[in-house]
Amino acid sequence: MPQKSHTHAQWSSRLAFLLAAVGSSVGLGNIWKFPYMTGESGGGAFVVVYLICIALVGLPILMSEWLLGRLGQKNPMSSMQKIAGRMKRSQSWGLVGLAGILGAYLILSFYSVIGGWALAYIKYAVTDTFSTLDGDSVGSLFGNLLGDPSTLLLWHSVFMIMTVGVVIGGVAGGLERAAKTLMPALVVLLVVMVGYAATTDGFAEGVRYLLLPDFSKLTAQTILAAMGHAFFTLSLGMGIMMAYGSYLSDDVNIGRTAVIVVFMDTIIALMAGMAIFPIVFSNGLDAGAGPGLIFQTLPLAFGHMSGGWLFGILFFVLLVFAAWTSSISLLEPVVEWLEEKTSMNRKGATIAAGLATWALGLATVLSFNVWSDIHPLGIFDKFSGMTIFDLLDYATSKVMLPLTGLATIIFVGWFMQRDELKSQLNVSSGAFSLWYVTSRFVAPIGVAVVFVFGLIN
């Protein structure tokens, strides 16, 4: 493909980068996935394992991806090729960056459909639909949404337009502006929700459930789930953090900033749990409801509590904001790659990437209804019941992201020079030694275990 000269953008400040990185990390994984995984896995014991995993696996890989992006100053594929060339390593390492870009594209294609669900639920909350629901009809509401391709298509399209509308503005006019607006708004909404939860009868029970571990509930599956989520929640293996790192100036301390991002991501996930579990317990509902916790269990609670319509609106606006900040970051690596590898300018690259993502998202939309009986890999027992959506989710979360993250941390830990790494990270000798050992041994083993057991189960 033809390439052009490209003046690489830079974040205007460390705060702008920090907000954008936190915005990328904070998404449906924090507000939707973390609470339901905690509920399925017995509460506080899952949280403790998750915190250990995010420190030993998530943090080292996050720092490595930023480091590679800043050194390369290009899209993830070109950055990997540039650094590998300088280290006299094979140019095939560029495939690691390309895999991250492809993973981001595939994930956004179905992530935007789920973001569309949250938009639809704002409408339901505004029209006070939840107050008419009982245990059966709340499931029917969600089932009817999934079964209506035209409605899913509408909300999927709106969500993609929202995403493209931000990314098209570039680093300063798009990513930074959105992060400076959406992240504070998200935190305010979450504080309001936690404040309301504190007034409910189930608040103390919810906090105990979330923060007091019962290690008798720990299983091998729980540990693996916590490790996998620690990897997923920081947007690792998707090319995102490498792309964001490519806009990073040399005066930003990668280690210190990574710790702040991990801390903020974790705090927001815990706050989401504090907002959700008290409402669940106050209404006598099941904390282990799984993926339906947000779209079926909580609407039932909102419909039967004082002021539920208002807090239903606030909650689903919060969910949309979280999904929006992450979708922006998912589109960015694809746009950066198109902008640098083709003759397209920022506008053209964003529109092209957005349209391609929207088009693939149609397969997810249809997999819930018209194509629900289509199982592309049905000849294999393991995949016999999987729709196109299921396969996209499996291919990215179980295969592509772990392999990309594993290759990234192996490249940094085993193929880059120790002195250069220490210089780039700019941390104390003790902190660097800890990071270096973790990056070479602990994180690769952790990701490899998640990958292998993800394939087996």
Residue type, 399: V
The alpha helices in 6-148, defined as continuous H runs, are: 14-25, 28, 34-40, 44-53, 59-72, 76-86, 94-126, 135-147
**Residue listed under structure tokens 């040399």:** 250
Rounded-to-integer distance, Cα 107 and Cα 404, Å: 14
Q: Is the Cβ–Cβ distance between 239 and 57 less than 8 Å?
A: no
Rounded-to-integer distance, Cα 193 and Cα 40, Å: 22
Rounded-to-integer distance, Cα 159 and Cα 110, Å: 11
Rounded-to-integer distance, Cα 348 and Cα 354, Å: 10
E strands, 229-323, are: none
Determine the pLDDT at residue 454.
82
Q: CA 142 → CA 15, 123, 156, distances in Å?
A: 39, 13, 15
Q: Is the Cβ–Cβ distance between 408 and 66 less than 8 Å?
A: no
Determine the pLDDT at residue 4.
52
Determine the pLDDT at residue 59.
95
pLDDT tens track for 3-40: 454 557 899 999 999 999 999 999 888 888 898 888 88
- Per residue of the chain (457 residues), give pLDDT as tens: 444 545 578 999 999 999 999 999 998 888 888 988 888 887 899 999 999 999 999 999 999 999 999 999 999 999 999 999 999 999 999 999 999 999 999 999 999 999 999 999 999 999 999 998 887 788 899 999 999 999 999 999 999 999 999 999 999 999 999 999 999 999 999 999 999 999 999 999 999 999 999 888 888 888 888 888 887 889 999 999 999 999 999 889 999 999 999 999 999 999 999 999 999 888 888 887 777 788 988 898 898 888 889 999 999 999 999 999 999 999 999 999 999 999 999 999 999 999 999 999 999 999 999 999 999 999 998 899 999 999 999 999 989 999 999 999 999 999 999 999 998 888 889 999 999 999 999 999 999 998 998 888 7
Q: What are phi and psi for residue 194, nearest 5 degrees? A: -65, -40
**Number of neighbouring beta carbons within 10 Å of residue 378:** 12
**Number of neighbouring beta carbons within 10 Å of residue 339:** 23
Q: Is the Cβ–Cβ distance between 246 and 336 less than 8 Å?
A: yes
Bin 312: left if φ > 0, else alpha if -120 < ψ < 50, else beta: alpha
Rounded-to-integer distance, Cα 139 and Cα 155, Å: 19
pLDDT tens track for 205-256: 999 999 999 888 888 888 888 888 887 889 999 999 999 999 999 889 999 9
Determine the pLDDT at residue 304.
82
Q: Is the Cβ–Cβ distance between 409 and 60 less than 8 Å?
A: yes
Give the predicted TM-score (pTM) of the model.
0.94
DSSP 331: H
Determine the pLDDT at residue 80.
97
Q: Which two tokens stand for residue 214?
A: 């019962």
